[in-house]
Structure formats: C-alpha cells, structure tokens
Amino acid sequence: MSDATQRTEISNLGEFGLIKRLSEKITVTQPTTIKGIGDDAAVLAKRDKLTVVTTDMLVEGVHFDLMYVPLKHLGYKSIVVNLSDVCAMNAVPTQVTVAIALSNRFSLEAVEELYDGMRAACKRYNVDLVGGDTTTSLKGLIICVTAIGEVEDGKQVYRSTANEGDLLCVTGDLGSAYLGLQMLEREKKIFLEDPNIKPDLENQQYIIGRQLKPEPRTDIVKWFADNNVLPTSMIDISDGLSSETLHLCDQSNLGCDVLEEKIPIADEARQQAFKFNFDPTLCALSGGEDYELLFTIKPEDEEKFKGSLDVTIIGKMTAKGSEPTLITRKGNRHKLIAQGWNAFGNEPTAS
C-alpha cells in the first residue's frame, strides 16, 4: 500500500492532530479563497461569475483497488474526476473540499501519500483545497471530493441544449483507461497466483497512465474561451462514450449518428485490445474513465477546430424521435446501447 518504511498510527494523533498535520502543507493561491481549512467552513469571495458545484464519492473495492493503485495516484485522480465535471460545464475549477473516511489499516504516512497526490493535482490545475473532513471507516477508504468552479454568466454549457444538425465532438482518445485497468487486473491475478513473477507492463505506460493518472481537459475549456467557441452541449466521459452520448441525446431530446471509424483510439490501446481479444471500439464505447469531453458544436464552427487541437468530430445530432445510432465501418447501423460502468450493476463486458 505504501512503501514508506515508517508507520505512525493515526489514533496516536487523533482527528485534530491529523487535520493539523495535513493542513500544514496546504497553501491557498486562488484570489477567490478568503479562508481555507481551519474553521467551520471555508469562505469564498464574491465573484462576478456563476459558481458550479459537483461532488463525487470513491469507495475502495468499488472504484479502486489499492493492490495496484498507488495512494498518490488515487489522491490525484480523486481530484481530477471532479475537475473534469467542472470542465464539462465549461467552467474553470477554483476550489475543492475533501472528506475521507479510513480504517485503522491506514497509517499517517499512507494518508500523507494520498494528500500528496491531491495537492499535486490542486497545484497543477491551480485549485485550492479549502476544507473537508477526516473520519473513521469500519472498512476501507472512502473519498468524497466536492469541486467548485466559475463560469461567465451565459457561458455555462448543459447536456440538454444540443440542436439537430450539431456536430458531435470528442477530445483526446478513448478506451485506453479501460484497457489500462484490464492490464492492472491481469497483473494482479498473476501476482496473486505467483508473487515471484515480475509484472509485464512494458510498453503499456500509456494505457496504464490513462487509468492511474487521468487529466481533466481544462485546456479545452480555455481554448473555447480563447477562440470564442461555445459548445451547444457538453458532458465529460466518465462512464464510456455510449452512455454519455445517450445522456446528451436523452436530455437534448434528439437522436444522433456516431461514425465508428471516427472514434479516436490510441494505437497502444488498439494493440492491447487485440491482444486481449477485445473489440477496440467497444472499449471506447463502454470502457469509461477517460475523462475526455464530449460536446456538440454548431456546424458553422467546424472550421475553427481544424488544426492541432486534439478534438475529433465523430458524428452529428439527428432529429427528435430518431434513434442514437452507431454507424459501423461497413456502413451498418446499430442502436447505441449504454454498457458503461454502472455503480449498481455489473462491469462492462468488453468481449
């Protein structure tokens, strides 16, 4: 869990001791943060923008496995998944609060690793950690992050406002995070069967990195502002392309045509999918955890997207009543089905 050799029991510090220890390293830099950790609540300045708020809970054994997820990466990712939701509103993240519950299996050193990762993400994305809660769990680690961001009035982007004929776009590439997870799961299985076998993760840095250390697309939100582009609808891809596309269709009351050949998949992911005997497209459609942005634009904005920006137009929104559809390379039309990861159901079946 931690390769730190020292082990300090949290019970020796107590809750206030732990909070004090963790807060010492935390600095605030956002102009809108008036008061951070250390009082009954954080205090944020007046803003001439709208405020967005989002919350996500990560549960050990459900959302992460500490056998192969380093605590520092987990801390980083727990912040990122929330920043990604802020980006999906076309907003800029400014503050987070963090609540954690942990069993006595976790030492102070382990918690510090977790917070090191959180602080790294906060620093990288210029976000202040302004408050939270630390408490005991009966089992495992639970992390709940709330992220706050800001967006100019009128520039917030919802899921429900796409129009017929709008182009459907996606940032980056899809499916890698899911394949990274499959790699890590496979290595875990092998390790459990024989701890002496060295993990074979060579050449898999990309897909494993996509699983362990996703990044929120704050750069795209900035690009929208710089280039005066306002998406007509937007969502972030946490559950897989299918599931998120269906949300946009459902909430905008439209259908869509998605072209399989346009779905961006990294070479590393495609190769690994073939090795696993998975369909790469299915990994992109159902895999989830890529934390890319899925959005629609007016057709007349298409020109602006030509160039070096890693945005791909994968389809278009179709009339109300028409079905969300995947058009295969061979030209067949399939109804788009959500097989995304479901917190209350089964894992996606990728083969």
Tokens of 312: 């791909």
Question: Using CA atoms, how far apart are residues 296 and 244, in angstroms rounded to an integer?
Answer: 12
Question: Using CA atoms, how far apart are residues 344 and 63, in angstroms rounded to an integer?
Answer: 12
Question: Which residues make beta-bridge pairs with 128?
Answer: 95
Question: Using CA atoms, how far apart are residues 309 and 288, in angstroms rounded to an integer?
Answer: 22
Stretch in the footprint of a second copy (CB under 8 A) among 69-77, 81-89, 219-227, 297-305:
81-89
Question: Using CA atoms, how far apart are residues 75 and 123, in angstroms rounded to an integer?
Answer: 13
- Identity at 192, one-letter amino acid code: L
Question: Using CA atoms, how far apart are residues 178 and 181, in angstroms rounded to an integer?
Answer: 5
49 binds a second copy (CB under 8 A): yes
**The one among 28, 71, 98, 110 contacting a second copy by CB under 8 A:** 98
Cβ-based nearer residue to a second copy, 77 or 270: 77
**The one among 8, 23, 51, 271 contacting a second copy by CB under 8 A:** 51
Question: Which residues make beta-bridge pairs with 146?
Answer: 55, 97
Scan residues 211-240 and list those touching a second copy (CB under 8 A).
234-236
Please report how many Cα atoms fall inside a 13 Å half-sphere around the Cα of residue 113, on the Cβ side. Answer: 20
Cβ-based nearer residue to a second copy, 44 or 183: 44
146 binds a second copy (CB under 8 A): yes
24 binds a second copy (CB under 8 A): no
Scan residues 169-198 and list those touching a second copy (CB under 8 A).
none
Please report how close the Cβ of residue 235 comes to a second copy at its closest, in angstroms: 6
Tokens of 150: 């800001």
Please report how many Cα atoms fall inside a 13 Å half-sphere around the Cα of residue 281, on the Cβ side. Answer: 14
141 binds a second copy (CB under 8 A): no
**The one among 110, 129, 151, 181 contacting a second copy by CB under 8 A:** 151
Stretch in the footprint of a second copy (CB under 8 A) among 8-16, 168-176, 203-211, 281-289:
8-16
267 binds a second copy (CB under 8 A): no
Please report how many Cα atoms fall inside a 13 Å half-sphere around the Cα of residue 120, on the Cβ side. Answer: 17
Which 8-state DSSP code applies to residue 345?
S
Please report how close the Cβ of residue 97 comes to a second copy at its closest, in angstroms: 4
**The one among 1, 4, 26, 59 contacting a second copy by CB under 8 A:** 59
Scan residues 311-340 and list those touching a second copy (CB under 8 A).
none
31 binds a second copy (CB under 8 A): no
